[in-house]
């Protein structure tokens, strides 16, 4: 799994969009980009994944750079329930987690 | 319903008493993995398995054993637990291609006294 780099923490206001960045400059051509989030004392929860094209689902959108060296998770309207640690993973065959980004949402 | 089931959810044990944490998945995934999570250290991979009878060490394998005799099960074995193995443990199952989501168990909170 290629190494990923994310900011340690970010803060957002409730009801506003949040853009969580991730760098994965050593990603291989066949590695998917996955995002998971984790609430305290709970198992990681799948958010979204993609390979080359931008992806949307009911939870979020994933924007992947054309060179695939970075991606951005977009939460369109942050709620207090979105406060969590967000992990970006360059998915090889080991599913290795980095430090993630702590997202704080202010009401 | 797709799920990964870990048991037990909570366990308090004494130093040196062998224990096993079970993990079972119902998605026919080839890959399974164990993690431990400690405050400030994130999710660290202990062992992973690519298929039946195929396992490999992760980043923190010392003091742990695993086995993969059936595709659905991937137990984590602590043959002589020590207090530094007090942690929150998660099991995951996923496909090798990465084209589908990974699934995680609810976690096992282990305390070794």
Q: Which of B58, B98, B106 sits opposite A43 (nearest CB)?
A: B106
B82 within 8 A of B112, measured Cβ to Cβ: yes
The model's pLDDT over A19-41, given as tens digits with 9 standing for 90+, comes to 999 999 888 888 999 999 999 88
C-alpha separations of A98 from A8, A15, A34, A76, A86 in Å: 10, 28, 12, 24, 10
The model's pLDDT over A60-97, given as tens digits with 9 standing for 90+, comes to 999 999 999 999 999 999 999 999 999 999 887 788 88
- Phi (first) and psi of residue B55, to 5 degrees: -135, 160
Kindly indicate the confidence band of residue B9, based on its pLDDT and cuts at 50, 70 and 90. Answer: very high
Mean confidence (pLDDT) of chain B:
95
**How far apart (Å, rounded) are the C-alpha atoms in residues B93 and B100?**
11
Kindly indicate the confidence band of residue A1, based on its pLDDT and cuts at 50, 70 and 90. Answer: low
Minimal CA separation from B15 to chain A, in Å: 24
Residue A3: predicted pLDDT: 84
Taking the CA atoms of A90, A94, A99 and A102 in sequence, report the sign of the dihedral they define.
positive
Q: Among residues of chain B, what percentage have pLDDT more than 70?
A: 100
Name which of A51, A4, A54, A62 is nearest A29 in CA terms.
Answer: A51
For residue B108, the tally of other CB atoms under 10 A from its CB is: 23
Query: Which chain A residues are within 8 Å of B61, Cβ to Cβ?
Result: none
**How far apart (Å, rounded) are the C-alpha atoms in residues B46 and B44?**
6
**Beta strand B31-38 pairing with B87-94:** antiparallel
Q: In a mutagenesis test of the A interface, which of B2, B89, B98 is the best target, namely the one with the most A β-carbons within 10 Å?
A: B98
B73–chain A Cβ distance below 8 A for any pair: no
Which of A24 and B20 is assigned the larger pLDDT? Answer: B20
Specify the DSSP class assigned to residue B83. G
């Amino acid at each position: 799994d290629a190494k990923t780099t994310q900011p340690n923490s970010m803060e957002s206001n409730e009801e506003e969009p949040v853009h969580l960045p991730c760098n994965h400059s050593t990603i291989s051509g066949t590695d998917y980009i996955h995002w998971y989030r984790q609430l305290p004392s709970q198992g990681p929860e799948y958010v979204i994944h993609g390979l080359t094209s931008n992806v949307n689902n009911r939870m979020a959108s994933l924007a992947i750079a054309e060179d695939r060296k970075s991606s951005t998770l977009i939460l369109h309207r942050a709620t207090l329930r979105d406060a969590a640690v967000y992990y970006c993973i360059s998915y090889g065959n080991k599913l290795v987690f980095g430090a993630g980004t702590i997202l704080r949402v202010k009401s | 319903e797709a799920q990964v089931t870990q048991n037990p959810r909570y366990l308090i044990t004494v130093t040196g008493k062998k224990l096993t944490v079970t993990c079972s998945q119902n998605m026919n995934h080839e890959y399974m993995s164990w993690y431990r999570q400690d405050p400030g250290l994130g999710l660290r991979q202990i062992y992973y398995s690519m298929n039946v009878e195929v396992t490999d060490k992760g980043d923190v394998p010392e003091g742990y054993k695993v086995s993969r005799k059936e595709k659905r099960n991937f137990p984590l074995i602590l043959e002589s637990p020590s207090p530094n193995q007090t942690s929150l443990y998660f099991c995951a199952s996923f496909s090798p291609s990465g084209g589908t989501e990974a699934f995680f168990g609810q976690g096992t909170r282990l305390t070794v006294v």
